[in-house]
Chain A
Amino acid sequence: MTELISIRDMPNEVKVNLLKKLGYKSDGIFVLKKNGEKFLDKYTEEPVRLDNMFIYPGSTIILDNNSLSISSFLEKYGDVF
């Protein structure tokens, strides 16, 4: 089982640094790909915001933390938490 770490209190600078270490970037509002394009949630196809991220390990899945994306994730990957 994977432990969930809350980043609610993580300052934005640290979130940007975290994304950098995982191979992504941020403009301070959105998660960006290496080429600077906005990173899109694979289920809603909407840009993922820095202040509402869910990041799962493995092939590093970054999602917007909303019910549709999370339920879709759990349906695909099972009860991993």
Chain B
Amino acid sequence: MSSEKDPIASVSKGATKGLLEWSEEKLKQFVKKFKDKNIAFIQDSKTIEIAKEQRKKGEWVFFKFYIKDKDLRILFQLGLTLRKLEKENKDVEPLKEKIIKKYKKQGLHIAFFVANGLFGKYIGNILERVPTIDELTGEINKLFQNISHTVAFINREDDIPQKTSEIIIKIQAHSPDTFIISGTGGAVSICDKIKIGVMRKISSNYTCEQHIAEGKKVKEYTS
């Protein structure tokens, strides 16, 4: 049997070639460059490329001008990353799990808020009534610190009467200027039903707007 057709021999040959390419001398050169702070090592540069790409986006440039909180800034960038991964049909679960582990459910909701394109719409809504930089900074901080008072993220498994009731209680308790019911994919029809139930109870104080963005559907209630 020739070695070209023997898979074990081929693997072994490949491993030897790999080792030769990373000779002791070459490794020493890399370590020297590393110690001189000229190089860094990374398994897959795609992660950094995606992170850098998000830091060039207009939404990020706008947000970082107003918000200095380190964790909020990281969550904002992770929201943009989630959006990018979702758009490319990549697996977002590992990142969602890491966000929940470090920043709890509130952190994930902040990232979702950005990922779903709600930040730009929300800011567009409040810009008219917040004339100064300080006021806008305050509004953005207030939004993210109390995100559950302003947004409900709907899953397709959610119980409609229960979720409707939760949202009505939140709106009545906090009287937000804007309340957003957000859902994607299979949750969109659930959102519709929840919206009808919510509006029945609060329609005298709020008007309803609907936004559809890149296959996503957002319900917005503005006083």
Residues of A within 8 A of B (CB): 2-11, 13-14, 17-18, 21-22, 43-44, 51-58, 65-68, 70-72, 74-76, 79, 81
In the complex the two chains form, is A75's CB within 8 Å of B52's CB?
Answer: no
A interface footprint on B66-106 (CB within 8 Å = 1, 0 otherwise): 00001001100110010000000000001100110110000
Selected contact of A70 from candidates B22, B47, B94, B102, CB within 8 Å: B47
Question: CB within 8 Å of A: which residues of B?
Answer: 15, 18-19, 21-22, 24, 27-28, 30-31, 34-45, 47-48, 50-52, 54-55, 70, 73-74, 77-78, 81, 94-95, 98-99, 101-102
In the complex, the answer to whether B43 meets A70 with C-beta atoms within 8 Å is no
Q: Which residues of A contact B34 (CB under 8 A)?
A: 22, 55, 57
Choice from B21, B39, B54, B98 contacting A57 with Cβ under 8 Å: B39
Q: How far is the CA of A21 from the CA of B207 in the complex (A)?
A: 65
Number of A-B contacts (CB under 8 A): 126
A65 CA / B89 CA spacing, docked (Å):
20
How far, in angstroms, from A54 to B31 measured CA to CA in the complex?
Answer: 14
- Contacts A44-B102, A70-B48, A74-B55 known; A14 to B39 CB distance under 8 Å? no
Whether the pair A52, B43 counts as a contact (CB closer than 8 A) is yes
Determine how close the nearest CB of chain B comes to the CB of A13; give it in whole angstroms: 7
Q: List, in ascending order, chain A residues with CB within 8 A of B40's CB.
A: 2-5, 54-57, 81
**Contacting pair A79 B22 (CB below 8 A):** no
* A68-B102 in contact (CB<8A): yes
In the complex, besides A56-B40, A68-B74, A70-B48, 9 extra interface pairs with C-beta distance below 8 angstroms are: A2-B40, A7-B42, A14-B18, A14-B27, A44-B101, A52-B43, A57-B37, A67-B98, A71-B77
A13, B37: Cβ atoms under 8 Å? no
B47, A11: Cβ atoms under 8 Å? no
Give chain B residues whose Cβ lies under 8 Å from the Cβ of A51: 43
Q: Provide the residues of chain B in CB contact with A43, threshold 8 Å.
A: 102
Task: Say which residue of B27, B36, B44 sits within 8 Å of A8 (CB atoms).
Answer: B44
Q: Which A residues are CB-close (under 8 A) to B28?
A: 21
Contact assessment for B52 and A79 in the assembled complex, using a CB-CB cutoff below 8 Å: yes
Q: Write the chain A residue with the least CB distance to B42.
A: A54
Are A65 and B31 in contact (CB-based, < 8 A)? no
Q: Are B15 and A71 in contact (CB under 8 A)?
A: no
Check B39–A5 contact: CB distance below 8 A. yes
On whether the beta carbons of A54 and B37 are closer than 8 Å, the reply is no
Chain B: CB-nearest residue to A17: B27
Q: Are the CB atoms of B19 and A18 closer together than 8 Å? A: no
Given contacts A5-B42, A54-B41, contact A75 B77 (CB under 8 A): yes
